[in-house]
Structure 1
Amino acid sequence: MYIISRQKQEKNHSMEQGSTSVPPHVLVFPFPVQSHVNVMLNLAEIFSISGFQITFLIPDHIQTGPRFDQISLRFARYPAFYFQAISDGLPLDHPRTGDRVKELFDSINVTTKPQFRNVLKSRALSSNSRAPLTCIIADGIMSFTIDIAQNFGIPTVLFRPFSATCFWTLFCVPKLIQAGELPLKEDSDMDRLVENIPGMERVLRVRDLPSFCRVEDAADPQLQHVVSETHRATGAHSLILNTLEDLEEPALARIRANFPKLYVIGPLHGYFRPLWSPNSLNEQHRSCIEWLDDQPLKSVVFVSFGNMTVLKSQQLVEFWYGLVNSGKPFLWVVPANLTAGCRIPTELIEGSGKSGKVVDWAPQEEVLSHPATGGFLTHGGWNSTLESIYEGVPMICWPFYADQQVNSRLVEEVWRVGVDMKDICDRKTVEKAVRELMEVRREEFLKSSKDIARLARKSISEGGSSYANLDCLIKDIKHMNYANST
């Protein structure tokens, strides 16, 4: 695997410009929510293993949170890795989920943007032991970093943790508006195929468009913001996507026509899979692993809707009854944010009797790789989708937000590794989907999932496309550093 190979190489490796060259210093700046921080920590760790100096702008609500000690311990092994706190301007206890994400966008513009400018202006990140910044790798939803960094002569590379297909879909929104496919009308046919996304003409329906597109006014501020951010990425030095060529080739081919400097390097979490480097910011509960150890091979449905999904009380109850009525054992992650304001049945709080186990968090990558896990009921977030693909676990998708609507369609219609139950939440539908995944079409889904998992693992192995792209990215940053120092 790449990480192991890189560790061996770095012991005796010197840069092409000479062994006395100062290593690159990269500033990594994630969007301040847990899933985005997690995946960019993986990228930052790869750079650390490659000998880079890293400054990671950690959101202050995470740095002051109860799980930061775990993150700090993970990166203590890298003496050139440094955390720098930055505020998103919201109270520490703000949920940063669901409909309230809009508040986060607004607060970043007011608070985080000037903070970022001041960090660069003060030169506080450089010292006798730390070189000037070579480049900035920022979350693609924060394109303001491009202009600010340009004022200081620092190149910006944007990282998008979305699927390539979602990125391309958002890029095509102006064309959809021009063609009259957006905004939606009150009587819009949600099952109509979308015609003006090149490469996706026979794949995406109206209901599969990103959640931001479900508006009746093309001037909707949130839609305009995400589309503007997507197009603004063309002004960056380059673009990084956490996916693989074999998974999203149609979208990637179109993206390259607009972003010739594109690094497709995923699945990022897979580089660490042999080392079992946990990346969750939540407490790792071992009781669920012990419970899984007692279950038959590929018999358990793992249920997790991520850290930004918020269920209504009735939705939670319908999922619960559907799971129980399916008769399949299940492991359900029910964090506090998922049930905000919900009236939870006593049976759910106590665990679900003989058929299931309910926890407030679980080590997701480890659960998905467990021999007892046979299916994954998920919100279809990109990190979760890639993790499930990598482990060859079929999925049931119930998307909630952002790119999840696109991802769930790919899972069912393109990759054929699961069921998309988008826009429906009743106990009979849940029960039917679980039975279809774990019983009726079990062998079909397992075969498709195994085939795609093989492609994912090959891509990050020596000779694979993502492996090669990651190597190019590292070399290009070293060349940036050399250019800056001459």
Structure 2
Amino acid sequence: MEREAAVPHVLIFPFPAQGHMNSMLKLAELLCPADMYITFLNSDHNHQRLLRFTDAEARFSHWPKFRFESITDGLPDDGHCSAESTFEMFNTLESITRPLFRDLVISLSHPQQEIPPLSCIIADGIIPFVIDVAEELNIPIISFRTISACSFWAYFCIPKLIAAGELPFQGDMDVPIKSVPGMEGFLRRRDLPSFCRAEELNDHVFQTVLSATQETTRASALILNSFEDLEGPILSEIRSRLPKLYAIGPLHAHSKTRLLEQSLLSSLSANSLWEVDRSCMKWLDSQPPKSVVYVSFGSLAVVGRETLLEFWYGLVRSGIPFLWVVRSDSVTGGNVNEEIPGELVEATTERGCLVGWAPQEEVLAHPAVGGFLTHSGWNSTLESIYTGVPMICWPYFADQQINSRFVSEVWRVGVDMKDTCDRGTVEKMVKEVMERREELMGSVDRLAKLARSCVSQGGSSRSNMDRLIKDIRSMARSSPKLHPKKK
């Protein structure tokens, strides 16, 4: 009985968005083979979509100590389709989800039918209330930020930016930023995370992100989906303030590598909240090697009809074959296919393929793909680096602005077209990346090799993951009984 009591029970709680949930499910895949109980807490909405569009339930059934739970995120079912709804979720999570989460943690903190009491919470660091609940209930908590180290560090340095008078700002977006240590030589106003563009410091979203990031210092440790050879200098800056840091990425490759080693990789299914259209893989099979530019702006970006057409004309005029993910809800105020000019329809029929959602990891690994026009989401950026595909970056919001700057100026594995989307720029940059592939491939191949190495035996991410597992086991052995603090 003593041995069983020392088996860890970890609650994993992602922010209710595709990219956050995906990377934290990858973490769960790494923890499950370590013989610990895992409760994965999804939002009701995302859990239903996950079960509908993936085989996640079947995949995780390989581990009898894993189970899904779900909880409301406070939004109506039809209110989850944009960045704006994501901002609204900050409010509903606090007002509606928080008390339900607290009740769940209390229930999990008592033994239940051979399941040991909760010993640790790994929660998305952008959910403001989780650390409060964990501290109140005396449960150890580890913060997981699903963004890049460079973006997290920029968020963390916001008080310094304010003190230096660099925030808020107006006017020239190319003014250099000096108060983010390690980035003084290349960071501009336009490269800061999009929340920093708020004209008033009391902006609600700005304050929420600022507060959540500063609260990270209250957690026992921080997990980042990154790797030492990619963001080593910035990871060192973060460790100066948060010494207990586990860089265990790229998580999509890390989990796949370990599952392959244990002969547990049973399918190619991703953790998608959208129905995947696999017809694009057959289309890619018919294209010459490295000839196609893959285009996807992720699960949240929404553009106006004019912006959509500018991208479309730019892609067509580049003359490059393209595979484009256009979600049904990605255009404001109308249907994606409504009144498309005939020349675009004809050109797309000749050398393009449009789908509602694609199996992105497989697409990027396909021999026909030679470039990636991306919103610079962190999962997409890591997947592109791992497969050695150069990027054309058009960041949409949040961390994506700073990711795109690192892609172009630090890692030199792509180009950055932030804040512009006219057809001429799109055409020029798609051509530039596809025609200059040989010039970019030195940096691209180097980072791809480092990414593969870090998740292999002896790699930094592998070692950091082993250290995380060891520390979670230690928490299980020393975890105190539940003693809620008096309010």
TM range, smaller chain: over 0.9
Which residue of the partner structure matches residue 271 of structure 1? 254
Which residue, 224, 228, 231 being the options, matches 2:214?
231
String of CA shifts for 1:456-486, please: whole Å, max 9, x gaps: 1111111111111000000110111112389
String of CA shifts for 1:266-319, please: whole Å, max 9, x gaps: 100002445445232322322111111111001100000000100111110000
Deviates more, 1:371-380 or 1:283-292: 283-292
Letter in 2 for 1:45: E
C-alpha contact (below 8 Å) 1:173/1:227 kept by paired residues? yes
Which residue, 156, 167, 171 being the options, matches 1:171?
156
2:479 is paired with a residue whose SS is helix
Identify if the C-alpha distance between structure 1 residues 351 and 478 changes in structure 2 by more than 3 Å, giving closer, same or farther: farther
Deviates more, 1:326-335 or 1:139-148: 139-148
Which residue of the partner structure matches residue 180 of structure 1? 165
The 2-side partners of 1:350 and 1:79 are apart by: 52
The 2-side partners of 1:159 and 1:64 are apart by: 23
C-alpha contact (below 8 Å) 1:368/1:393 kept by paired residues? yes
The reply to whether residue 39 of structure 1 matches residue 23 of structure 2 is yes
Which residue of the partner structure matches residue 450 of structure 2? 455
Which residue of the partner structure matches residue 484 of structure 2? none
The 1-side partners of 2:108 and 2:187 are apart by: 47
C-alpha contact (below 8 Å) 1:303/1:376 kept by paired residues? yes
The 1-side partners of 2:480 and 2:37 are apart by: 15
The 1-side partners of 2:395 and 2:105 are apart by: 38
C-alpha contact (below 8 Å) 1:143/1:233 kept by paired residues? no
Unaligned runs of 5+ in 1: 1-16
Letter in 1 for 2:390: P
The reply to whether residue 469 of structure 1 matches residue 452 of structure 2 is no
Q: Give matches, 1:88-99, under 5 Å.
A: 88-99=73-84
The 2-side partners of 1:57 and 1:351 are apart by: 45
Q: Give matches, 1:78-477, under 5 Å.
A: 78-123=63-108, 126-185=111-170, 188-273=171-256, 275=265, 276=268, 278-342=270-334, 344=337, 345-346=339-340, 352-439=348-435, 441-477=436-472
How many matched pairs?
467
The 2-side partners of 1:41 and 1:62 are apart by: 12
2:55 is paired with a residue whose SS is helix
C-alpha contact (below 8 Å) 2:227/2:454 kept by paired residues? yes
The 2-side partners of 1:159 and 1:482 are apart by: 22
Letter in 2 for 1:31: F
Letter in 2 for 1:417: V
C-alpha contact (below 8 Å) 2:128/2:211 kept by paired residues? no
* Offset of residue 124 of structure 1: 7.5
String of CA shifts for 1:71-92, please: whole Å, max 9, x gaps: 2122122111111110111001
Letter in 1 for 2:191: D
* Offset of residue 19 of structure 1: 6.5
| Ranges of 4+ aligned residues in structure 1 off by more than 4 Å | 17-22, 347-351
1:258 is paired with a residue whose SS is coil
The 1-side partners of 2:365 and 2:408 are apart by: 21
Letter in 2 for 1:260: P
Report % sequence identity.
Answer: 54
The 1-side partners of 2:287 and 2:331 are apart by: 27
Provide TM-score, normalisation by structure 2.
0.92
String of CA shifts for 1:305-343, please: whole Å, max 9, x gaps: 000100111110000010010001000001122123246
Identify if the C-alpha distance between structure 1 residues 429 and 81 changes in structure 2 by more than 3 Å, giving closer, same or farther: same
Letter in 1 for 2:95: V
String of CA shifts for 1:428-458, please: whole Å, max 9, x gaps: 000000000001x220112211110011111
Which residue, 50, 58, 62 being the options, matches 1:77?
62
**Bigger relative contact order, structure 1 or 2, given CA contacts below 8 A and separation 6+?**
2
Identify if the C-alpha distance between structure 1 residues 481 and 171 changes in structure 2 by more than 3 Å, giving closer, same or farther: same
Provide TM-score, normalisation by structure 1.
0.92
Deviates more, 1:219-228 or 1:317-326: 219-228
The 1-side partners of 2:318 and 2:135 are apart by: 56
* Offset of residue 168 of structure 1: 0.5
The 1-side partners of 2:279 and 2:298 are apart by: 19
Identify if the C-alpha distance between structure 1 residues 273 and 371 changes in structure 2 by more than 3 Å, giving closer, same or farther: farther
2:384 is paired with a residue whose SS is helix
CA RMSD across the alignment:
1.9
C-alpha contact (below 8 Å) 2:14/2:42 kept by paired residues? yes
